[in-house]
Structure 1
Amino acid sequence: MQPLPPQPQVNPPHVNPWIVAVAVMFATFMEVLDTTVVNVSLPHIAGSLSASVDEAAWALTSYLVANAVILPMTGWIANYFGRKRTLLAAVFGFTAASFLCGLAPTLSILIFFRIIQGATGGALQPLSQAVMLEAFPPKDRGKAMAFWGLGIVVAPMLGPVLGGWLTDNYSWRWVFYINLPVGLASVIMTRLFIFDPPYIRRSRAGIDYWGIGMLAVGVGALQVVLDKGQEDDWFASNWISVLAVVAVVGVALFIVHELRTAHPVVNLRVFKDRTYAAGVFLMTVLGFVLYGSLLLLPIFLQTLLGYPALNAGMAMAPRGLGSFLMMPLVGTVLGRFDPRKVLAVGLVGASWTLYALSKLSLDAGYWDIFWPQFIQGASLAMLFVPLTTATMDPIRKEEMGNATSMFNLMRNLGGSFGIAGATTYLFRRQQYHTHLLGADVTPFNPQTQVYLKGIQGNMVAHGADPSTAMHRAYGTIWGMVQRQASMQAFVDTFLMMSVIFLLVLPLLLVMKRPKHHSGPAAMH
């Protein structure tokens, strides 16, 4: 790739870039929050709209599918219609759809507006990121990405807690109404303070209808497979198998078509740059582990340690606190150190925290969970900010919208793979350990006989007849086996995620030193 010309900020000089940052931060935070805030409200939504929980889950799936389909097209849409116009329409559409979701009288209407919410929300992350990267000069982009990264890291952790609190104290409808003040503030600030760079205003290209169609079919089918595969036992289900084939064929045809067409809806040629390609892959892995561990820890706390749902959500707060405190520091440090070195520290730190979680037991206390979570949050700050800065450094400003679209799509798909992979691996390991531990629980095992007689004797002493007491004794022991098997399954899954972070460390050697890095090494 040819050396890049200087890329100055594009906002008019009378607009403070930090005002632009606040405007797009509102939009990003609102959209990312909505990917998790609805989860805990599903039983209430199902009951209120006379539907089963499985049927209500389509309110989540429909959002994710629409989001995944629009995300990669955002760069093209912004180039065609104008970035400001697209961002304004996306923020307004997302806010209006949120309000209409809250008013929905039936599940069908709720799902319809969730599709609109997902489609408009899909454009918010890449557009916000592109605006942020161009609003600031290269020397300040680390600080800008640290500010933007707060929304990306904190919002998914806050979502379940906020959703549970709103549902318990008000109604599930307030999970959607809460977006109104934030969305309206973002609409006003976008209208007043964000402007299009000249190269976007002049962009007019043909519409790649075939590319749009293949993208919608391939990515849409893939998202449904990832979201519904585990509950339908993956390829044991005919419809999941068919959708998987559709996803593979659709994505393959899309890639071939986009590389051949003159005006692609997604310019995949940006992946020719090794730094960008390695950075996108690292972000996919980061999404995999972040969303996978976000799912696992609350389940572990509730099912094995007996935490109430709200307390389990609050136990995730140290991760958000760690990110909140570390983000500004990382933004400042990036002006002095090579982002790849900061990334290496972040990967090792995140790996250690997952290893620490794999050492938890059924007797784990609050502080055993607090410190790994806090350090993990700090480590994530050392991953998101430098990874975004380094990955986008070689991208020309004309391709910034396209590049940020793919960057965010792969993070979200990585998250979907992480949730699906973590739940499947956890379930398989639980089966394995249940079989392994249960093999010794037989009437012929002397130690088992001692436990059975002890439990039976205690129950008989409290008035149970011997036959019923023995039956309950077996149930008690089997419950202990399943609890230990579940504990071992969580240990294995956390350890697997820890190893994944270490395995991607060599990719940092593939990435080039950022040309716009402003630290000491970049001055020579």
Structure 2
Amino acid sequence: MTGSIMLAPAAAAPVVRPAGPAPFTPRIAAGLAGVLIAVLVSGFNEHVTDIDLTDIRGVLGIGHDEGTWLTALYEAFQVSAMAFAPWCAVTFSLRRFTITMVGLFAMLAVAAPFTSSITSLYILRAVQGFAGGALPPMLMTVALRYLPPKVKVYGLGAYALTATCGPNLATPLAALCFEYLGWRAVFWEAIPLSLISIFLVAYGLPQDPLRLERLRQFNWRGLLLGFPAICMLVIGLMQGDRLDWFHSPLICHLIIGGVFLFMMFLLNEWFHPLPFFRIQMLRSRDLSFSLIAVATVLVLAVANIEVPSAYLAEVRGYRPLQTAPMALVIALPQLLALPLVSALCNIRRVDCRWVLAGGLLLMAASAYGGSFITSDWFRGNFYLLQALQVFGQPMAIIPILMLATMKLAPTDGPFVSGMFNMVKGFANAIAAGLISFLETRREHTHSNILLDHYGASNFVLSGLNDKPRDLAAFAQAVRDQALVLTTADINLVMIGIAVALLLLIPILPTRVYPPASAGVPAPAAH
């Protein structure tokens, strides 16, 4: 048309679709395996100074009290790192952060035997604990982010491997290294697997972009409140029994100050725009229950290996290498039990809450059997009880992981990973404090009762006043019997803890379904 202006049609704007999760390929599977190896190595190294502490103290020429701080500092920094690592992984990228932490962990393992003083060893083990503690949240994040729905429960089973199988493998590995390769190898056992982990992670995990803009909203107040709070609480729990709990000014300051700072930390997280924890998520009954449950189940699992090991060491004179088969009875069969339990929980008709109840019943049955212990028991008497744990522990842990993660939005993963792993780390400190407390109190009680009984009967003390050797044998016999009775008492306490959690199952958690059944309509989440 004359005088009109012809306008070319505007080009259609391209439609931008949000990027979905990367497809699961053998390469990503290799990256997941690398993170799994790193977390297992971190778990092994956590128990180095615990399992072989007596021998390491002898080599380094340090006393018992100084040696306990090696374990306490490692544990404190490890739990602290679990709380803050997910934020770092989002900011600096999962792949880059994981490789950095594994590399730092391995370098410190190389240097550990060459430290020139106990102070430098304290610092080294604390930093190594921080590097090792940063790794478990990475495994949960990778499993939630990359695994397709049909195998996601199996990924949670791989994470459960680090909580059940890994700690039980630590005893034989550390004992074998010390007995056959020397005390330095106890620290160096982490190096080969760390190098393999770095290679697999670098090869397999995709490289996310840096998100350094998050540093402008960095939660400094949360870090300054939360980090010392967690360290103080963990150290207070680990050292409480040795220093007689609240009779010690140090323990009073650590526990009371830690609780106050942690409450301030939680208050800060509630209002901060970019928090480490999203406290509002605790309104979910499933998440709240899963945090309570994982702490409870891990206390039961720790007691299951620590209490029999202490009995065998103190009463029967076993060295760590001699208790190793007992740990292997739990660890190795779980390589089969964990996939089987994951397959069971991946069936839509199966309610994971009742799988959890079955696992708790098996763990309680194991503790019930242990309550009948006598001074004649040896390693073989524990094998059947440990066999109950082979299915009991996976049947407890995997449903807890499902309750914690199955109703998550994709953006909630780092927050849940941080909270869940921090509570998991706290459980080890709680178990150590509780078991130490029960051992000390019940042993003293039973020793006094036994001495009163023998003193009143007059047949043991007759003729012993002039025979120091007999008196020494008598004192040892009383102590051994007190330890046997204490072991039985601790098992009864563990039964009570398991039953208490069982009673919460019908009340708190709601039904969750495996992601493999995502195509099937399910009831709305509560």
The corresponding residue for 1:504 is 501
The corresponding residue for 2:331 is 320
The corresponding residue for 2:413 is 400
Bigger mean CA offset, 197-206 vs 272-281: 197-206
Look up the equivalent residue of 1:512 and give its one-letter code: T
Bigger mean CA offset, 429-438 vs 275-284: 429-438
C-alpha distance 392-8 of structure 1, shift in aligned 2 (>3 A): farther
Structure 1 contact 199–398 (Cα < 8 Å) conserved: no
The corresponding residue for 1:149 is 160
SS in 2 for 1:504: helix
The corresponding residue for 2:428 is 415
Q: CA deviation at 1:317?
A: 1.9
Bigger mean CA offset, 419-428 vs 475-484: 475-484
Which among 225, 228, 244 is matched to residue 255 of structure 2? 244
Which among 78, 83, 100 is matched to residue 72 of structure 1? 83
The corresponding residue for 1:217 is 228
SS in 2 for 1:57: helix
Distance in 2 separating the partners of 1:388 and 1:519: 17
Look up the equivalent residue of 1:405 and give its one-letter code: G
C-alpha distance 59-212 of structure 1, shift in aligned 2 (>3 A): same
Structure 2 contact 78–132 (Cα < 8 Å) conserved: yes
C-alpha distance 519-496 of structure 1, shift in aligned 2 (>3 A): farther
Look up the equivalent residue of 2:126 and give its one-letter code: I
2:412 equivalent to 1:368: no
Q: How do 1:271-350 and structure 2 match up within 5 A? A: 271-336=282-347, 337-350=350-363
The corresponding residue for 1:462 is none
The corresponding residue for 1:4 is none
C-alpha distance 475-189 of structure 1, shift in aligned 2 (>3 A): closer
C-alpha distance 227-386 of structure 1, shift in aligned 2 (>3 A): same
Structure 1 contact 211–257 (Cα < 8 Å) conserved: yes
Q: Please report the TM-score for the alignment, with normalisation by the length of structure 1.
A: 0.89
Q: How do 1:222-241 and structure 2 match up within 5 A? A: 222-241=233-252
Mind listing any 5+ residue stretches in structure 2 that lack a counterpart?
Answer: 1-17
Which among 466, 474, 490 is matched to residue 493 of structure 1? 490
Q: Deviations over 1:80-106 (max 9, x none)?
A: 222222112111221222222243233
Q: CA deviation at 1:258?
A: 1.2
C-alpha distance 261-321 of structure 1, shift in aligned 2 (>3 A): same
The corresponding residue for 1:55 is 66
C-alpha distance 199-104 of structure 1, shift in aligned 2 (>3 A): closer
SS in 2 for 1:231: coil
Structure 1 contact 298–312 (Cα < 8 Å) conserved: yes
Which among 264, 268, 273 is matched to residue 275 of structure 2? 264
Look up the equivalent residue of 1:317 and give its one-letter code: L
SS in 2 for 1:263: coil
Structure 1 contact 8–138 (Cα < 8 Å) conserved: no
The corresponding residue for 2:179 is 168
Which among 136, 140, 157 is matched to residue 129 of structure 1? 140
Look up the equivalent residue of 1:11 and give its one-letter code: A
Distance in 2 separating the partners of 1:431 and 1:262: 51
Structure 1 contact 288–417 (Cα < 8 Å) conserved: yes
Look up the equivalent residue of 1:40 and give its one-letter code: I
The corresponding residue for 1:24 is 35
Structure 1 contact 79–204 (Cα < 8 Å) conserved: no
The corresponding residue for 1:460 is none
Q: CA deviation at 1:74?
A: 1.5
Give the % identical residues.
Answer: 20
Which among 194, 198, 204 is matched to residue 193 of structure 1? 204
2:89 equivalent to 1:92: no
The corresponding residue for 1:358 is 371
The corresponding residue for 2:4 is none
Which among 457, 460, 484 is matched to residue 481 of structure 2? 484
C-alpha distance 503-14 of structure 1, shift in aligned 2 (>3 A): closer
Report how many aligned residue pairs link the two structures: 502
C-alpha distance 80-367 of structure 1, shift in aligned 2 (>3 A): same
Q: Deviations over 1:319-361 (max 9, x none)?
A: 2134233111112111212221211110111111111111121
Mind listing any 5+ residue stretches in structure 1 that lack a counterpart?
Answer: 1-6, 457-465
The root-mean-square deviation of aligned C-alpha atoms, in Å, is 2.6
Q: CA deviation at 1:515?
A: 4.3
Distance in 1 separating the partners of 2:58 and 2:510: 53
Distance in 2 separating the partners of 1:355 and 1:313: 22
Q: CA deviation at 1:26?
A: 0.7
Structure 1 contact 38–160 (Cα < 8 Å) conserved: no
SS in 2 for 1:96: helix
The corresponding residue for 2:392 is 379
Bigger mean CA offset, 77-86 vs 8-17: 8-17
C-alpha distance 490-9 of structure 1, shift in aligned 2 (>3 A): farther
Q: CA deviation at 1:222?
A: 0.6
Q: CA deviation at 1:490?
A: 0.9
Distance in 1 separating the partners of 2:299 and 2:31: 30
Q: CA deviation at 1:204?
A: 6.5
Q: CA deviation at 1:15?
A: 4.1
Look up the equivalent residue of 1:511 and give its one-letter code: P
Q: CA deviation at 1:130?
A: 1.0
Structure 2 contact 171–320 (Cα < 8 Å) conserved: no
Q: Please report the TM-score for the alignment, with normalisation by the length of structure 2.
A: 0.89
